[in-house]
């Protein structure tokens, strides 16, 4: 932890040299820090244009998702069916889903082209015949595409996580169709990668049509993603979505993870270039620009303490390694487990900065730690901003739209801006789903 | 169809009611659930979360623990946290999956208590009922177990029962109620449970009158009456005239020891087109306050569980409906409705909505617009349509 003011308290953090990989902290009761910028399954589901979401859960589970939709001003695209005690006793879960969804669709002013029906833990514990439910609904509403979605946090440690499943299901409405050899998709991200990013630039250079779901405005546009010859994922959480499209639609899946090492970025770009059928001999200009931007950022930020959290990027260790290699003073990483893909970065950090603090975010002791620091802190990520109680932070989740050397350049610029400009941390980080409309 | 809602949100759930009720009392509350409940409660239903360090956690229940009936995980995790934080008491409250697996909350609480040496409570909440049930059960349990029996009653002293941010937010109403009581020479023993400590609440038996300000305080009022013989007054201070009536009722009850419901004999006309949708005691108080100040009596649409303790509190003229379609039907002839702004979408086209945000319904969305009820100017609120 950064140096705290006040009474002596339990400090759950560990130095990276002592941290176990990939689980540095034991499982205990969990605290929920009030940083809400990461997207929920409601936000992700709303990426399907014109779709309607229907959650079938207990009221307590509905509470969070329905208010997420309300805060997004999207209640017109959201409905619920509440499970009550008698449904558990009566065993009429299938009827509840079928009749509840039917009733809602009949009451909507217009039938949506797609409906995402979310089942919950209770259905799975009771062995509810979901397939029969969806099939019946498809028969009743032949003009509507139904997607089975899942709010099943109890199963989060059994196979794919609900977030991984959600990102996979987001594309399950795409249909087998004739491929366009010069079309591809980047899938599984909440944010479209920027036009200036290395990846998008290379795709454009090859003359390919590129689809990214956050850009889609209509359901018809969304369905055009079916035509892609191949799909790209850039995050581990989206990998299952790519694998599913490959096996179901025959779209080759390229996993080109967001990363921060020169070698890995180059390798990713070479892989992409091969698929695009063009040559890639590196992009020295982009690499130099990134280096210059980092140098410039270091001139401004210097040895100011920096805290990074796992919501900022799926590769927090790789980012820390990059910044430390450029002289920055990374003091603490806030994360509850390590991304298994980052083992080499973990080893590097362990050897080169053994005293780097690894601090959990959900450990119960985090409720009592006195937030803040006597020194100025630049935070990368909302949770880091909360725990360090700093108004200097880069407000980004999941890496945002950044990718490649261009992403590093833009990150350096964002760090300079954040270092110079105070932000209203309390107001900003409590908004759900960064980048979505919010009435808060 | 019952249970299906096209546009309306759900009210906060029983499990969150437990957390909210006990939030300021120095205990530790654990929601026995996988992961979602914690962020839902702390994001939408707990305005005190960011700036306080109250101990509310989630157990992080997994599929395997649920299937294998592994209760030891939550027990050991709670004992570890109790050892680390030294809370005054500990609470375990349930969600849907523990209900399904038949998790025995009272036995687990007993085991926790035996092993930790602090009072422990288990609440059989299941996330399928509304907050009012959870708040009610939490206050009732506290009244039964945690109040000191060897206290002496003080004249002109009051407990306020049923105050949580879910009904009152944090916009000054509760502080104003306390201040008004003090200005009228009443000592406030404890406010259940905002702005008071556990020690304050322990002294509940000192009060000469209990003031019940929401339906969730009713069960505790009845327990305290049985335990200490304390009479109660039911009513919320809504604007100046109603506030005077509440004070007057407390005085009378202090003198004669009779329970009073401030709004009890006032009913709306069957054919009215003016409605209030909301929590029972607050809505009935508001309806009566409007009658007193504006001469018109709205009819209350009560969309929460009809707790047995509310018998005699709500009127036969009130409409008890919980489903979206029923609420739409109940409002079919409405010309004027006072309700949370998220009800707007189900009201008839020509109906005017006077927004009165309710944290237990719309969460933090309109929190800033929630008024200090004691200071509501009803004539201004109703506008130019007074009879």
Query: Exposure of B77 by Cβ count < 10 A (0-12 exposed, 13-18 middle, 19+ buried)?
Result: buried
Structure tokens at B372: 């200090």
Q: Is the pLDDT of residue A2 over 70?
A: no
Q: Is the distance from CB of B53 to CB of B84 less than 8 angstroms?
A: no
Mean pLDDT over each residue of chain A, to the nearest integer: 94
Shared domain for A26 and A131, answered yes or no, is no
Return the minimum-mean-pLDDT range out of A337-351, A402-416, B28-42, B256-270. B256-270
Structure tokens at B74: 């939550």
- Enumerate domains of chain B plus CATH numbers: 14-129 (3.40.50.1980), 157-261 (3.40.50.1980), 274-382 (3.40.50)
The pLDDT assigned to A5 comes to: 42
Shared domain for A300 and A410, answered yes or no, is yes
A226-279: per-residue pLDDT in tens?
A: 999 999 999 999 999 999 999 999 999 999 999 999 999 999 999 999 999 999
Q: Do A83 and B57 touch (CB under 8 A)?
A: no
Residue B384 pLDDT grade (very low, low, confident, very high; cuts 50, 70, 90): low
- Separation in Å, CA B194 to CA A249, B85, B140, B376: 57, 22, 16, 20
Q: Do B128 and A365 touch (CB under 8 A)?
A: no
Of B124, B83, B117, B121, the closest CA to residue B103 belongs to B124
Of B15, B77, B342, the CB nearest to A60: B15
A54-74: per-residue pLDDT in tens?
A: 999 999 999 999 999 999 999
The pLDDT assigned to B340 comes to: 97
Q: Return the bridge partners of A151, or none.
A: A120
* Domain termination site, one of A246, A276, A306: A276
The pLDDT assigned to B69 comes to: 86
Q: Is the pLDDT of residue A333 over 90?
A: yes
Q: Do B14 and A60 touch (CB under 8 A)?
A: yes
ipTM of this predicted structure: 0.93
Structure tokens at A252: 């080759």
The pLDDT assigned to B385 comes to: 54
CATH code, A330: 3.40.50
Query: What SS3 string covers chain A?
Result: CCCCCCCCCCCCCEEHHHCCCCCCCCCCCECCCCCCCCCCHHHHHCCCCCCEEEEEEEHHHHHHHHHHHHHCCCHHHEEEEEECHHHHHHCCHHHHHHHHHHHHHHHCCCCCCEEEEEEEHHHHHCCCCHHHHHHHHHHHCCCCEEEEEEECHHHCCCCCCHHHHHHHHCCCCCCCCCCEEEEEEEECCCCCCCCCCHHHHHHHHCCCEEEEHHHCCCHHHHHHHHHEEEEEECCHHHHHHHHHHHHHHCCEEEECCCCCCHHHHHHHHHHHHHHHCCCCCCCHHHHHHHHHHHHHHHHHHCCCEEEEECCCCCCHHHHHHHHHHCCCEEEEEECCCCCHHHHHHHHHHHHHCCCCEEECCCCHHHHCCCCCCCCCEEEECHHHHHHHCCCCEECCCCCCCCCHHHHHHHHHHHHHHHHHCCCCHHHHHCCCCCCCCCCC
Q: Is the pLDDT of residue B387 over 50?
A: no
Residue A7 pLDDT grade (very low, low, confident, very high; cuts 50, 70, 90): very low
Structure tokens at B134: 């959870």
Shared domain for A305 and A335, answered yes or no, is yes
- What are the chain B neighbours of A158 within 8 Å (beta carbons)? 62-64
Of A32, A104, A107, the CB nearest to B39: A32
Average pLDDT for B177-203: 97
CA pair distance A144, A167, nearest whole angstrom: 20
Total count of residues recorded for chain A:
440
Within 10 angstroms of residue B331's Cβ, the number of other Cβ atoms is: 21
- Separation in Å, CA B110 to CA A365, B75, B117: 25, 11, 10
Shared domain for A383 and A263, answered yes or no, is no
Q: Do B39 and A64 touch (CB under 8 A)?
A: yes
Shared domain for A409 and A295, answered yes or no, is yes
**Backbone dihedral region of B193: left (phi > 0), alpha (psi from -120 to 50 degrees) or beta?**
beta
How much is the pTM?
A: 0.94
Q: Do B97 and A121 touch (CB under 8 A)?
A: yes
CA pair distance A189, A236, nearest whole angstrom: 10
Average pLDDT for A415-426: 98
Average pLDDT for A334-357: 97
Number of domains in chain A: 3
Q: Is the distance from CB of B165 to CB of B48 less than 8 angstroms?
A: yes
Contacts of A325 (CB under 8 A, 6+ apart): none
Residue A163 domain flag: yes
**Backbone dihedral region of A320: left (phi > 0), alpha (psi from -120 to 50 degrees) or beta?**
alpha
- Separation in Å, CA A260 to CA A46, A298, A406, B319: 30, 17, 11, 62
Shared domain for A341 and A403, answered yes or no, is yes
Average pLDDT for A389-410: 97
Average pLDDT for A146-175: 91
Contacts of A188 (CB under 8 A, 6+ apart): A167, A170, A233, A234, A235, A237, A238, A239, A241, A242
The pLDDT assigned to B213 comes to: 98
- What are the chain A neighbours of B97 within 8 Å (beta carbons)? 121-122, 125, 154
Domain residues for the domain of A351 are 14-31+290-429
Residue A105 domain flag: yes
Structure tokens at A433: 């789903």
Q: Is the link from the previous residue into A22 a cis peptide, with omega within 30 of 0?
A: yes
Within 10 angstroms of residue A10's Cβ, the number of other Cβ atoms is: 12
Of A32, A99, A368, the CB nearest to B38: A32
Residue A382 domain flag: yes
The pLDDT assigned to B300 comes to: 94
A92-132: per-residue pLDDT in tens?
A: 999 999 999 999 999 999 999 999 999 999 999 889 999 99
Instruction: Collapse the DSSP code of B372 into the 3-class scheme (helix H, G, I; strand E, B; otherwise coil) and give the result.
Output: coil
Query: What is the distance between the terminal CA atoms of chain B, rounded to a whole angstrom?
Result: 38
Listed in sequence order, the DSSP H helices in B203-337 are 218-228, 239-256, 280-294, 324-330
Shared domain for A197 and A132, answered yes or no, is no
Q: Is the pLDDT of residue A381 over 80?
A: yes
Average pLDDT for B280-284: 96
- What are the chain B neighbours of A71 within 8 Å (beta carbons)? 365
Average pLDDT for B239-245: 96
Shared domain for A423 and A302, answered yes or no, is yes
* Domain termination site, one of A169, A193, A213: A169
Share of chain A above pLDDT 70, in %: 98
Shared domain for A296 and A244, answered yes or no, is no
Q: Do A81 and B57 touch (CB under 8 A)?
A: no
The pLDDT assigned to A9 comes to: 59
Distance from CA of B214 to the nearest CA of A (A): 21
- Separation in Å, CA A61 to CA A41, A83, A154, A336, B386: 12, 10, 12, 24, 42
Residue A436 domain flag: no
CA pair distance A325, A62, nearest whole angstrom: 46
Strands A114-120 and A145-151: parallel
Shared domain for A418 and A298, answered yes or no, is yes
Share of chain A above pLDDT 90, in %: 90
Strands B4-5 and A78-83: antiparallel
The pLDDT assigned to B243 comes to: 97
Return the minimum-mean-pLDDT range out of A12-26, A188-202, A227-241, B307-321. B307-321
* Domain termination site, one of A134, A169, A204: A169
Strands (E), chain B: 4-5, 28-32, 55-58, 90-94, 120-123, 157-161, 187-192, 209-212, 232-234, 260-261, 274-277, 299-302, 319-320, 336-339, 352-355
Structure tokens at B95: 């969600």
Residue A175 domain flag: no
Share of chain B above pLDDT 90, in %: 87
Mutate one of B63, B90, B367 to test the A interface: name it (highest A CB count within 10 A).
B63
Task: Tell me the count of A-B CB pairs closer than 8 A.
Answer: 196
Residue A124 domain flag: yes
CATH code, A158: 3.40.50.1980
- What are the chain A neighbours of B57 within 8 Å (beta carbons)? 29-31, 364, 367
Of B22, B34, B4, the closest CA to residue B100 belongs to B34
Shared domain for A248 and A361, answered yes or no, is no
B361-381: per-residue pLDDT in tens?
A: 999 999 999 999 999 999 988
Residue A243 domain flag: yes
- What are the chain A neighbours of B59 within 8 Å (beta carbons)? 29-30
Shared domain for A354 and A252, answered yes or no, is no
Residue A164 domain flag: yes
Average pLDDT for B346-365: 96
């Amino acid at each position: 932890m950064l140096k705290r003011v006040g009474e002596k308290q339990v400090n759950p953090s560990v130095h990276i040299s002592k941290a176990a990989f990939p689980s540095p902290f034991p499982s205990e009761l969990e605290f929920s820090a009030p940083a809400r910028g990461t997207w929920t399954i409601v936000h992700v589901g709303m990426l399907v244009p014109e779709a309607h979401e229907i959650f079938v859960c207990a009221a307590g589970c509905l509470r969070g998702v329905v208010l997420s939709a309300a805060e997004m001003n999207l209640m017109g695209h959201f409905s619920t069916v509440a499970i009550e005690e008698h449904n558990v006793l009566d065993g009429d879960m299938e009827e509840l889903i079928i009749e509840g969804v039917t009733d809602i669709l009949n009451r909507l002013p217009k039938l949506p082209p797609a409906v995402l029906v979310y089942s919950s833990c209770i259905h799975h514990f009771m062995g509810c015949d979901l397939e029969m439910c969806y099939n019946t609904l498809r028969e009743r509403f032949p003009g509507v595409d139904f997607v089975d979605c899942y709010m099943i946090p109890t199963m989060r440690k059994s196979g794919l996580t609900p977030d991984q499943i959600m990102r996979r299901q987001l594309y399950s409405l795409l249909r087998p169709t004739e491929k366009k050899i010069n079309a591809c998709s980047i899938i599984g991200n909440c944010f479209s990668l920027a036009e200036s990013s290395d990846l998008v630039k290379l795709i454009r250079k090859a003359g390919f049509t590129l689809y990214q779901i956050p850009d889609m405005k209509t359901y018809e546009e969304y369905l055009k993603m079916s035509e892609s010859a191949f799909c790209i994922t850039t995050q581990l959480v989206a990998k299952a979505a790519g694998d599913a499209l490959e096996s179901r639609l025959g779209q080759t899946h390229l996993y080109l993870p967001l990363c921060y090492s020169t070698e890995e970025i180059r390798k990713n770009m070479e892989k992409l270039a091969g698929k695009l059928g063009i040559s890639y001999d590196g992009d020295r200009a982009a690499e130099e620009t990134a280096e210059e931007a980092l140098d410039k950022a270091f001139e401004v930020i210097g040895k100011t303490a920096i805290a990074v959290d796992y919501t900022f990027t799926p590769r927090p260790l790789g980012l820390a390694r990059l910044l430390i290699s450029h002289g920055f003073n990374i003091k603490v990483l806030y994360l509850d487990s390590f991304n298994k893909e980052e083992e080499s970065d973990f080893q590097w950090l362990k050897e080169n900065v053994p005293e780097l603090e690894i601090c959990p975010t959900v450990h119960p002791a985090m409720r009592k730690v006195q937030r803040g620091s006597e020194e100025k802190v630049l935070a990368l990520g909302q949770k880091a901003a909360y725990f360090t109680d700093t108004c200097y932070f880069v407000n980004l989740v999941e890496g945002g739209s950044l990718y490649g050397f261009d992403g590093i350049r833009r990150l350096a610029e964002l760090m300079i801006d954040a270092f110079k400009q105070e932000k209203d941390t309390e107001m900003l980080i409590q908004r759900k789903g960064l980048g979505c409309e919010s009435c808060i | 169809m019952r249970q299906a809602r096209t546009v309306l949100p759900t009210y906060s759930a029983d499990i969150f009611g437990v957390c909210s009720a006990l939030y300021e009392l120095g205990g530790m509350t654990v929601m026995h659930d996988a992961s979602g409940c914690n962020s839902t409660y702390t994001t939408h239903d707990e305005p005190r979360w960011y700036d306080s360090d109250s101990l509310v956690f989630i157990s992080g229940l997994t599929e395997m623990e649920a299937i294998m009936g592994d209760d030891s995980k939550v027990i050991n995790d709670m004992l570890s946290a109790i050892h680390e934080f030294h809370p005054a008491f500990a609470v375990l409250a349930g969600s849907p999956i523990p209900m399904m697996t038949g998790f025995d909350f009272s036995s687990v609480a007993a085991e926790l208590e035996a092993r930790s040496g602090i009072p422990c409570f288990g609440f059989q909440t299941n996330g399928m009922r509304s907050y009012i049930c959870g708040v009610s059960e939490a206050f009732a349990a506290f009244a039964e177990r945690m109040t000191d029996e060897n206290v002496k009653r003080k004249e002109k002293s009051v407990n306020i029962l049923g105050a949580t941010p879910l009904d009152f937010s944090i916009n000054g109403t509760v502080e104003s109620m306390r201040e008004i009581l003090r200005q009228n020479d009443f000592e406030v023993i404890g406010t259940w449970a905002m702005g008071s400590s556990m020690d304050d609440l322990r002294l509940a038996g000192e009060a000469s009158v209990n003031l019940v300000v929401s339906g969730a305080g009713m069960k505790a009022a009845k327990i305290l009456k049985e335990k200490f013989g304390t009479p109660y007054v039911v009513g919320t201070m809504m604007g100046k005239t109603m506030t005077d009536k509440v004070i007057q009722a407390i005085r009378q009850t202090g003198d004669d020891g009779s329970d009073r419901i401030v709004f009890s004999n006032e009913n709306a006309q069957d054919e009215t087109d003016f409605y209030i949708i909301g929590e029972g005691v607050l809505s009935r108080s508001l309806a009566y306050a409007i009658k007193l100040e504006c001469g018109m009596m709205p009819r209350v649409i009560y969309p929460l569980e009809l707790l047995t303790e509310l018998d005699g509190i709500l009127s036969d003229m009130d409409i008890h409906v919980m489903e979206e379609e029923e609420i739409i039907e109940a409002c079919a002839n409405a010309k004027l409705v006072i309700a949370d702004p998220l009800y707007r979408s189900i009201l008839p086209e020509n109906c005017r909505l006077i927004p009165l945000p309710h944290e237990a319904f719309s969460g933090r969305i309109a929190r800033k617009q929630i008024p200090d009820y004691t200071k509501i100017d009803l004539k201004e609120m109703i506008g130019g349509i007074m009879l």
